[in-house]
Amino acid sequence: MLDGRRAPVGGRVAGRRKETTNVVWSGSWVAERLGVELVGDGELRELLGLALRRNPKRAHLLVSNVLGKHVPQRPSVVYGAGFELGRRVRDLLGDAGAREAVVLGYAETATGLGHAVADGLGDATYLHSTRRPVEGVARAGGFEEAHSHATSHLLLPEDPDLLGNGEEGSSGATLVLVDDEFSTGNTVLNTIRDLHERCPRSRYVIVALVDMRSPADRGRLAEFAAEIGARIDLVARNTGTVGLPEGVLEKGQALVAEQEALRPPASTSGDGKLPGTLRPGARVDLQWPAGVPDGGRHGFTPAHRAVLEPALPAMADRIAQALDERMPAERMPSGQAPHEETGAGQPRRILVLGFEELMYAPLRLGTALEARTGTGADARTGADARTGADARTGSDARYEVRYSTTTRSPVLAVDDPGYAIRTRLVFPAHDDPADGPGDRYAYNVAGAGFDAVVLVVDSTADTPALHAPGGLLHQLAAHTGTVLLAVVPSYVPSGAATAVPAESPTSVPTPAHAPERQEDSAMLPEPLRGPAFSSYAPDEVGWLLQDLSDTELEAPTEEREEAIQSGGAHYAESLPVEYQPSEQYQDLFKAALDLSAARIARAVGTVTETVLAERGPRPVLVSLARAGTPVGVLMRRWARLRRGADLPHYAVSIVRGRGIDANALRWLAAHHNPADVVFVDGWTGKGAITRELAAAIAEFEESDGTEGFNPEIAVLADPGGCVRTYGTREDFLIPSACLNSTVSGLISRTVLRSDLVGPDDFHGAKFYRELAGSDVSGHFLDTVTDRFDEVADAVDAEVKELLTADRAPTWEGWAAVERISEEYGIHDVNLVKPGVGETTRVLLRRVPWKILAKRGAGADLEHIRLLAVQRGVPVEEVDELPYTCVGLIHPKYTRGATGADGRAVESK
């Protein structure tokens, strides 16, 4: 196996400068037993080995040492091979022709190779075929691969004109078709025939690592080009033929059966299963750039390339940091050492393992990791992609990086130096494939002595099957000391109803359910994200809102209150003027945050762990904007930092008396399983929003036909006893309630007005960019996050107790509000706002009448008392209050009752 043990190419061991003699060709085992010959130029045997597979159409398999599929190889060598071929195509077409060209790669083996060829061309757009259908994306073609175990290829470009529009006649752009080997030419000819009938073009270029056609097949290509009236060029790195004796297929099948009978079914063959701890892999947060596709399944443009390239070093840094945190300072080999020179002080051997068609993203992460440590050769600067010679310029390189991917292709493993596939791991498919469940494989990984494996999958494949016992992560953990999981968000083509959202690293698998209202969700835009909308990082939250930042919505507080209480307007039709805190109040906020950060962190951990235990393994957090949003971000951070789970997080609008945003629910149902959605809010008061959400979900499901949403809310604090999922039921100061937008990503409360929000729109909100100088959103989040470690033990104990406790809602708060409403002659529970958070809101954006404070309440009410003084509102201490405080909105509001300046006065 090409894993550093033997010389794969050029007579050198990749990763060492030591020359090796009498190297065994990794095709000799098959050649000796079946009489197969590999004839070609001098380098051919260094680039190709042989293996056997159980396939009724072709017994032998050419195993490339530079493709990065079956044989771990240095990423720079793999990428350089494709990039160099792309440069040759550019020389053939000229700069202008290269810019107009479209590159098409073949799934699954050549998806990464084709992408590297497109990079070598410079500005070419790339597309690869796929065996994964994506609902909502129209097929632009398809073809069969006759010798493959899985034949059907689909072409699913997001841009329907990418491969040409037959209605507009022929295309002048050259189509460049890339495969790992050009054996009979049937696959390529089938493709060209299909696409040429749809949209004729004058020129095609075929690119392959090796051209292995027979003399008869070489003549067919020229005949076909004449038939369709187009020029067809061929660019191959090496040329040769495979000599197959008569009856080789039957002999090969018999040999496979014989070898399999000698080996009991197991996850490995040859070296056997190595000791290791079976544990889920820790996650590394790549922060994949938003909007950049995970690969070429739906097209990859020069604009995408321009965003990805500068982002690669930072992603490699995150991988390296995660490796450093989980690995010892000196190399401690896991399992079998690859050669006698390894040991403490040697570079740690890292495998970046891709996933089936997802070859390019892990390949580029691997090249960036190589470049970061000085071990990678750059194809753009003339690196030796042919021999794989070590480009390390010093002895301080920390990593020896290799790259390969998993595959659908079943290949026999034989632990012999003359055989290309030495070991294999077998595991269940984990991406819910369209053709049903089945085994998948990783070759030459077991027994290779890797100190760590960085597994890179797309979010569609990040399913429970990946993490289950016997799944790929657990299989890898048996053969290496460290397993890291990096998830690249699966790209969402425009209009694809069931694809996964293109978000940095919070994405989840495509849902198994099929939403019935796909046409509605297809009309809706993708979530808004920072920094374009909100000061939160783009991966922290996606806002299912429309941006109304340029609309004048603010009204003076007293005018809003008069309109609301008179029935002339709903509170959600306008916005209060944003409260600008005094320096004294800002100092009070900071002091309160320092005092309560650990308390909040504990509540965050408790509610998050409860959600993971009862709604896991990958719940979708949906915060009720805006008070729920900081809590949702903190819950997402806890899940990632403490449990290695990247949870998707969105914010939606809910309006008392109007319900939840139905279009936001439609979007969620189209992109996730509704049963996975967990609604999040900051706290409960009397439970009005809890009841509002339950009623709104019931109404939505009845009218829309979508089912599965759980209307229960998870909150940080539940002093009213309104929910069963909470961090605490104490009524304490949550500093995010002390401010408005400046602690909530600079986003206003949500707006629902018929002239601004149409039937196909999300509810609206504003982004107060002008308040950036006062923004403490990040400070609040970071201060609480910094306390996670110190409260972890307390959280574990608390959650263990809560999961067995009776947490049924008591609605104690609602009863108290009704009593207060009557006792104070208000007769309207909507004007009674219980709890520290709701009382703060009354003082910040309503017209307050008085504040009821629990006798003896201390630091939790300092900011309340300060705001009350500023607004001229009396604070009345009372006994037997289930809350720390209650804010009362003025029940008989007129302009005269508050004075011209809007200051409230106590009612006589």
The Cα 330–Cα 332 span in angstroms is 6
The Cα 257–Cα 198 span in angstroms is 44
Question: What string of H, E and C letters represents the secondary structure of 658-700?
Answer: CEECHHHHHHHHHHCCHHHEEEEEEECCCCHHHHHHHHHHHHH
At residue 569 the predicted structure's pLDDT band, cuts being 50, 70 and 90, is: low
Is the confidence at residue 838, as pLDDT, over 60? yes
The Cα 738–Cα 867 span in angstroms is 10
At residue 361 the predicted structure's pLDDT band, cuts being 50, 70 and 90, is: very high
Is the confidence at residue 428, as pLDDT, over 90? yes
For the segment 738-780, what is each residue's pLDDT rounded down to a tens digit? 778 898 999 988 888 888 888 889 999 999 998 898 899 999 9
Mean pLDDT is highest, among 56-60, 322-326, 371-375, 597-601, for 597-601
At residue 118 the predicted structure's pLDDT band, cuts being 50, 70 and 90, is: very high
Is the confidence at residue 552, as pLDDT, over 90? no
The Cα 493–Cα 475 span in angstroms is 33
Residue in 5, 11, 89 with CA at minimum distance from that of residue 43 = 11
Is the confidence at residue 340, as pLDDT, over 80? no
The Cα 10–Cα 421 span in angstroms is 19
Residue in 209, 184, 27 with CA at minimum distance from that of residue 110 = 209
Sheet holding 832-834, edge to edge: 832-834, 885-889, 848-854, 875-878
What percentage of the chain has pLDDT greater than the value 90?
Answer: 40
pLDDT at 331: 46
- pTM, two decimal places: 0.55
At residue 472 the predicted structure's pLDDT band, cuts being 50, 70 and 90, is: very high
Mean pLDDT of the region 617-625: 89
Is the confidence at residue 207, as pLDDT, over 90? yes
Mean pLDDT of the region 488-511: 51
Residues 6+ apart with CB under 8 A from 367: 75, 76, 79, 312, 376
Mean pLDDT of the region 103-107: 94
Report which residue type is found at 439.
D
Among the ranges given (104-118, 373-387, 643-657), the one the predictor scored with the smallest mean pLDDT: 373-387
pLDDT at 106: 93
Mean pLDDT of the region 670-681: 90
pLDDT at 732: 72
State the burial class of residue 279 (Cβ atoms within 10 Å of its Cβ: 0-12, 13-18, 19+).
Answer: exposed
Coil, strand or helix: which one is 77?
helix
Average pLDDT over all residues of the chain: 80
Residue in 789, 492, 827, 531 with CA at minimum distance from that of residue 638 = 789
Residue in 595, 605, 609 with CA at minimum distance from that of residue 789 = 605
The Cα 290–Cα 310 span in angstroms is 13
Residue with tokens 């494949």: 461
Q: Which residue has the higher pLDDT, 361 or 732?
A: 361
Is the confidence at residue 888, as pLDDT, over 80? yes
Is the confidence at residue 533, as pLDDT, over 60? yes
The Cα 182–Cα 64 span in angstroms is 13
The Cα 666–Cα 649 span in angstroms is 16
Is the confidence at residue 632, as pLDDT, over 90? yes
